[in-house]
Amino acid sequence: MKHTKVKDLLNSTKTLQEVTAKGWVRTFRNNQFIALNDGSTIHNIQCVVDFENTPETTLKRITTGAAICVSGELVESQGAGQKYEIQVKKLEILGDSDAEKFPMQPKKHSLEFLRENAHLRVRTNAFGAIMRVRSVLSFAVHQYFQQKGFVYVNTPIITGSDAEGAGEMFQVSALPFDNTPRTEEGKVNYKEDFFGKQTNLTVSGQLEAETYAMALGQVYTFGPTFRAENSNTSRHLAEFWMIEPEVAFNDLADNMDLAEDFIKYVIKYAVDHCADDLKFLETRLADEEKQKPQAERSEMSLLEKLNFVLDNNFKRVSYTEAIDILKDSTPNKKKKFQYLIEEWGADLQSEHERFLVEKHFKSPVILFDYPAKIKAFYMRLNDNTEPGKETVRAMDILFPGIGEIVGGSQREERLDVLIEKMKTLGIDEEELWWYLDTRRFGTAVHSGFGLGFERLVLFVTGMGNIRDVIPFPRTPQNAEF
Amino acid sequence: MKHTKVKDLLNSTKTLQEVTAKGWVRTFRNNQFIALNDGSTIHNIQCVVDFENTPETTLKRITTGAAICVSGELVESQGAGQKYEIQVKKLEILGDSDAEKFPMQPKKHSLEFLRENAHLRVRTNAFGAIMRVRSVLSFAVHQYFQQKGFVYVNTPIITGSDAEGAGEMFQVSALPFDNTPRTEEGKVNYKEDFFGKQTNLTVSGQLEAETYAMALGQVYTFGPTFRAENSNTSRHLAEFWMIEPEVAFNDLADNMDLAEDFIKYVIKYAVDHCADDLKFLETRLADEEKQKPQAERSEMSLLEKLNFVLDNNFKRVSYTEAIDILKDSTPNKKKKFQYLIEEWGADLQSEHERFLVEKHFKSPVILFDYPAKIKAFYMRLNDNTEPGKETVRAMDILFPGIGEIVGGSQREERLDVLIEKMKTLGIDEEELWWYLDTRRFGTAVHSGFGLGFERLVLFVTGMGNIRDVIPFPRTPQNAEF
């Protein structure tokens, strides 16, 4: 008999039907009540075993983690907390789970312990919920862009171009590492490597996506990106997924509108489609908050935070305004900031971003028009700025508890200005000949942004460490599994 | 005034309205008719310029590839081939395109030339169509699985595990290549590398996906995978996107059902949502076929081929049956095969697969129950097979013109059998401790497959070379862009 998913059983409109379920035992109480989970929902279905007519040897094998198949009648449950249960007529142990050895016992495990068991942690309620929410969010990303007529573009992962400068890169090679071929000058001879040149893992698909936007109009990427930075923080991964839309004819204001609309859409989608999982994660977060001193606790529950983002406009604040606010702020005057804000041009640190978002505006903030000096070469130089105070049409979106979730800009569409900037920064024109072609042939105003997908998942699930929202995190000293 | 996408203009239900359009000039005829494309559709909108009242200097700048903005009235077109056109009142050149230098002139370019200009080829009709179809197909993939309750899982791209053995791997490192740190024995000291160990680019997310299937029930991956194989063919890429569903409690028959249903769904989705692009690609293919000798031409048009797949069941044929057919076949008897089929156990070559699919069955074929010796370690050993003729529950789906499009299997769920097999093949148990845990704790029958996304796009678009269905192909000696 075909089995039915637990989710479908719990949503069934008929009782007293013969059903079969397959899944893993979460708990087994009183030699009688199995809580069975199959991953289709956070909820278990209770399976009531006729223990008097079940061999003792079988009962002993109903342990946490064991895979079983049960058949019986789906009936209304007498117990609290569930609508239906299965009155088991037939029970088969598919795969045992030694109670002494199974690491995922039904008790609270530390997040560190669970990370070391990343292959099994998804069998817990919390990680099941996180990964379902992550999946639904990623679908929402595709749905949002596809409905608007964007074309999904797979930009290359292995790249021969290292000019973007978004961060330290991993090198990719098929050469024998122990004994690399050398040139006459004693350098590694990349001509003998697989691609005939030095190659790296991409830090961003933006430059390639721009070439597509200048043909297809609206495009987006959603793929893995890499940073070989030794950042052992709760917000950084060496391998993470990034979403990068790029739109021809969009200026910076359009870009901010798109980013805000997009973020609200995907959060709303998760709120609408992951109610049970988010409710569980809300309780988890509330329990965690209780461990903190009163002053550090969040004023809002998880769903309140999500709804707050949905219901309010993101504050749009120029860098110059932000600097004025920060200069006048209490932590700056009382020298509580580690990096004091003394003058226009300073790069904002995480402490400043948090102050703006969490203390001053108490809202997501879009900072825009940053000093040209602290931003990337491809950003559109603002017209009519004071000499020495040149700004670019950049924007960052800052979220409470997360910090930067989006970085974007209007791109410099003027070939001469772009080449001039590249010269100043020592970026090789030859290397980016294809990128410059977009400005040589039919250039136009265009804009885009990058959103770090794991930071979004972090915000929506209320988790505190980015390593807990990706299945198998890659961080310094860790590439297990 | 906000501009409207060309697709929306062409689908408009109102005429005589003031509209603005932005895009790139495809052609400019008689100093009067601009064919404008913005990538939203394969169709251009005709913009009729009042050339008598437009400065000669402006007219001269309306060249192929130039970005322009036009405003005027949307009216019914007098010309053939289009319903609407824009009577231009205002025309602005946004970005020039030097007619002498722009590589994408309105003429037929070779596919080789276009590959060298992968950043610009998407401005042609064919590549615009291909990339829109690719995007729609990828959305169909997500929609299919999400509707069925599958969880999308991002398995790691950088992996410390090289045990899967699906192919040659690229190595990933942050060590200085020119001067790698060494151990006392003179070997590269990977302990000093970013991850503290040797790491590679993934060849498959299957093993990690299995751990998730054994918790969430139904999962799928869709991400880049890599092969450092020096295969300079029209069907191989060093970097390609793969879809890998994995389902707990599915046996091989369920797996074949899932694969067939999935492939039909996504092809149907493209047929339903990409009518204009596919029509163009059908004509392109027909033109290409005309260059071939009569005997080599396909009997079916592109859409006929797609509908043939939708309307017919894939033939399910065991390896043993296939060998019998091949042994008795005319090319085998007449020694036309490069590799003659002499006995059971032979690995099937592309020529044999093509014979089965294109000559014998004239239909997609699912071959199953392959000899254990020619398949991977994790495949389920069949019960009750003759000694020396052991088979595994593997299945490959073969498509006309494409060859293998899917490879999958029921997985070996028995810990002891799996360990025995690994020992025989010299695969390190320690290395795969986490994979074996899925069999130690609550093991169950489960199955999955991998589908090479580009091969699917190749089939649906009717293109002949896999380098033409991914934006920036990675192949031996080529990592440009």
Q: What is the ipTM of this complex?
A: 0.97
A87 located within any domain: yes
The C-alpha of B407 sits at a distance from chain A's nearest C-alpha, in angstroms, of 23
Domain-located, residue B112: no
Same domain, B91 and B139: no
CB-count burial class (<10 Å; 0-12, 13-18, 19+) for A450? buried
Supply the pLDDT for residue A164. Answer: 61
Enter the tokens of residue B304. Answer: 């006929």
pLDDT of residue B330: 97
Contact predicate B208/B216, CB 8 Å:
no
* DSSP code per residue over A165-227: -SS---EEE-S-GGG--B-TTSSB-GGGSTTSS-EEE-S-SHHHHHHHHHHHSEEEEEEEEE-
The shortest CB-CB distance from A97 to any of B215, B441, B474 is to: B441
Q: Chain B residue closest to A415 (CA)?
A: B95
Residue A400: other Cβ atoms inside 10 A: 20
A403, A464 contact by CB (below 8 A): no
Q: Do the Cβ atoms of B444 and A95 come within 8 Å?
A: yes
Q: Which of A3, A155, A212 comes nearest B122 by C-beta?
A: A212
Nearest CA among B49, B363, B441 for reference residue A96 = B441
Token readout for A267 is 């959060």
Contact yes or no for B74/B19 (Cβ under 8 A): yes
pTM for this model (two decimals): 0.97
DSSP count for chain A of H helices, then E strands: 14, 16
CB–CB of A425/A376 below 8 Å? no
Residues of A in contact with B138 (CB under 8 A): 142, 152
Instruction: For residue A344, give how far its alpha carbon lies from the nearest alpha carbon of chain B (Å).
Output: 34
CA A456 to chain B, closest CA, distance in angstroms equals 15
* Judgement on whether residues A147 and A53 belong to the same structural domain of the protein: no
Domain boundary among A76, A95, A114: A95
- Taking CA atoms, A460 is separated from A11, A277, A305, A457, B322, in Å, by 25, 11, 9, 5, 52
Q: Do A360 and A213 lie in a common domain?
A: yes
**By percentage, how much of chain B surpasses pLDDT 70?**
99
- How far apart CA A318 and CA A324 sit, in angstroms, is 10
CA distances from A402 to A314, A455, A457, B237, B276 (A): 15, 7, 10, 38, 44
Measured CA to CA, the distance from residue B127 to residue B117 in angstroms comes to 12
CA distance A137 to A455: 12
Q: Give residue-wise pLDDT tens across range B440-460.
A: 999 999 999 999 999 999 999
A74 and A130 assigned to the same domain:
no
Decide if B441 is inside a domain. yes
Asked if B122 lies within 8 A of A215 by C-beta distance, the reply is yes
Domain-located, residue B478: no
* Interface contact flag, A94 B445, Cβ < 8 Å: yes
Q: What is the DSSP letter of B160?
A: S
User: Looking at residue B481, what DSSP letter applies?
Assistant: -
pLDDT greater than 80 at residue B127: yes
Interface touch B239/A132, C-beta < 8 Å: no
Is residue A101 assigned to a domain?
no
pLDDT at B186 over 80: yes
**Dihedral sign from CA coordinates of A247, A252, A258, A263:** positive
Q: Check residue A107 and give its pLDDT.
A: 87
**Distance between alpha carbon B157 and the CA centroid of its chain, in Å?**
18
For B96-135, list the strands marked E by DSSP.
Answer: none
Q: Cα B161–B184–B432 angle (5° rounding)?
A: 15
> Which residues, 6+ apart, have CB-to-CB distance to A180 below 8 Å?
A188, A189, B177
One domain for residues A71 and A129: no
Q: Residue B481 and residue A434: Cβ atoms within 8 Å?
A: yes
Asked whether residue B413 carries a pLDDT value surpassing 70, the answer given is: yes
Q: Please provide the DSSP assignment of A360-407 as one string.
A: IS-S-EEEEEEEGGGS-TTBPBPTTPPTT--EEEEEEEEETTTEEEEE
* Residues in chain B within 8 Å Cβ distance of A200: none
pLDDT at B477 over 90: yes
**Pair (B35, B144) in one structural domain:** no
Identify the sign of the CA torsion A468, A469, A471, A472.
negative
- Which tokens hold the place of A4? 């039915």
* Interchain CB distance below 8 Å, B201 and A172: yes
Q: Are A7 and B149 in contact (CB under 8 A)?
A: yes
Q: Which residues does chain A have within 8 Å of residue B413's beta carbon, measured at their own beta carbons?
A: 95
Is the same domain home to B309 and B392? yes
> What is the rounded CA–CA span in Å between residue B319 and residue B313?
18
> What is the nearest CA distance from B394 to chain A, expressed in angstroms?
22
- Three-state secondary structure call for residue A110: coil
* Residues B450 and B243 sit within 8 Å (Cβ to Cβ): yes
User: Per the CB < 8 Å rule, is A153 touching B174?
Assistant: no
Predicted local confidence at residue A82, as pLDDT? 83
- Over residues B175-184, the mean pLDDT reads 90
Other residues' Cβ atoms within 10 Å of the Cβ of residue A357: 22
Same domain? For A255 and A304 the reply is: yes
Asked if A441 and B97 come within 8 Å (Cβ–Cβ), the reply is yes
Identify all chain A residues contacting B23, using CB atoms and an 8 Å cutoff: 217
B387 pLDDT higher than 80: yes
pLDDT value at residue A386: 87
Nearest CA in chain A to B241: A154
Q: Is residue A102 part of a domain?
A: no
A190 Cβ neighbours under 8 A, 6+ residues apart: A175, A196, A197, A198
CATH code, domain carrying B63: 2.40.50.140
CB contact under 8 A, A94 and B444: yes
Looking at the complex, report in whole angstroms how far the Cα of residue A414 sits from the nearest Cα belonging to chain B: 9
Based on the fold, state whether residues B161 and B31 are members of the same structural domain.
Answer: no
**B206, closest residue in chain A (CA to CA):** A481
- B267: closest CA of chain A, how far (Å): 17
Q: Residues near A348 by Cβ (< 8 Å), separated by ≥ 6?
A: A319, A322, A326, A367
> Following CA atoms A190, A193, A198, A201 in sequence, which dihedral angle do they give, to the nearest 10 degrees?
-160
Measured CA to CA in angstroms, residue A266 lies from A139, A141, A270 at distances of 9, 6, 6
Mean pLDDT of B71-91: 92
Q: Tokens representing B76?
A: 């019914």
As a whole number of angstroms, the distance between CA A281 and CA A274 comes to 10
Does some domain include residue A108? no
Query: Nearest-CA distance from A303 to chain B in Å?
Result: 22
Least Cα separation, residue A234 to chain B (angstroms): 17
How far are the Cα atoms of A182, A199, B190, B237 from residue A190, in angstroms, in the given order?
Answer: 8, 9, 21, 20
In the predicted structure, residue B167 carries a pLDDT above the cut 80: no
Among A438, A441, A471, beta carbon nearest to B208: A471
3-state secondary structure of B106: coil
A254 in a structural domain: yes
**Chain A, chain B: beta-carbon pairs less than 8 Å apart:** 329
User: Which residues in chain A have Cβ-Cβ distances shorter than 8 Å to B160?
Assistant: 479-481
Partners of residue A146 in chain B, C-beta under 8 Å: 135-136, 139
3-state secondary structure of B288: helix
- The helix/strand/coil state of B75 is strand
Residues B90 and B129 in one domain: no
Low-confidence residues of chain A, pLDDT below 70? 162-166
Q: Which of A171, A194, A230 sits opposite B177 (nearest CB)?
A: A171
pLDDT digits (tens, 9 = 90+) for A228-278: 999 899 999 999 999 999 999 999 999 999 999 999 999 999 999 999 999
Contact criterion met (CB below 8 Å) for A97 and B441:
yes
Sheet of strand B171-173, all strands in order from the earlier edge strand to the far edge? A158-159, A199-201, A171-173, B171-173, B199-201, B158-159
Residues A373 and A415 in one domain: yes
Q: How large is the greatest C-alpha to C-alpha distance in chain B, in angstroms?
A: 88
DSSP code, position B357:
I
Domain of residue A88: give its range: 6-95
Structural element, H or E, at residue B260:
helix B252-273
- Count the residues in chain A: 481
B201-241 pLDDT tens trace:
999 999 999 999 999 999 999 999 999 999 899 999 999 99
Query: What is d(CA A84, CA A75) in angstroms, rounded to the nearest whole number?
Result: 6
- Shared-domain flag, residues B326 and B411: yes
CB-CB under 8 Å, B173 with A152: no
Which CATH number is A350's domain given? 3.30.930.10
In chain B, % of residues over pLDDT 90: 89
Distance of CA A451 to the CA centre of its chain: 8
The first and second tokens of residue B47, run together, are 């913009």
Which residues from A are below 8 Å from B171, CB to CB? 172-174, 177
- Among residues A135, A102, A134, the alpha carbon closest in space to that of A120 is found at A102
Average pLDDT of chain B, as a whole number: 95
B100: nearest CA partner in chain A: A441
Boundary-marking domain end, from B75, B95, B115: B95
How many domains does the structure of chain B reveal? 2
